[in-house]
């Protein structure tokens, strides 16, 4: 009986800080609002690009 290769373990991602969680939530909330306001239009939303270099 031969053993198959074990899948490579993925490195653990560091837990996001509270600031990163808050930023991600704010971005998601903004995108959700933009999507709700565009419905039922046929054009997709055009969200702004978030610039991390300002932080």
**Rounded alpha-carbon distances, angstroms, from residue 30 to 4, 33, 35, 45, 47:** 47, 5, 9, 11, 8
Contact 16, 27 (CB under 8 A): no
Q: How far apart are CA 45 and CA 35, in angstroms?
A: 6
Which tens digits make up the pLDDT trace of 4-55? 788 888 888 888 899 999 999 999 999 888 888 877 766 676 777 777 665 5
Contact 34, 47 (CB under 8 A): yes
Q: How far apart are CA 2 and CA 33, in angstroms?
A: 55
Question: Global pTM?
Answer: 0.48
Joined tokens for residue 33 = 């609002």
């Amino acid at each position: 009986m031969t053993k198959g290769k074990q899948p490579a373990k993925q490195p653990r991602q560091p837990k996001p800080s509270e600031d990163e969680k808050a930023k991600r939530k704010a971005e998601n909330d903004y995108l959700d609002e933009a999507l709700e306001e565009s419905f039922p239009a046929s054009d997709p939303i055009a969200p702004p690009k978030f610039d991390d270099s300002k932080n």
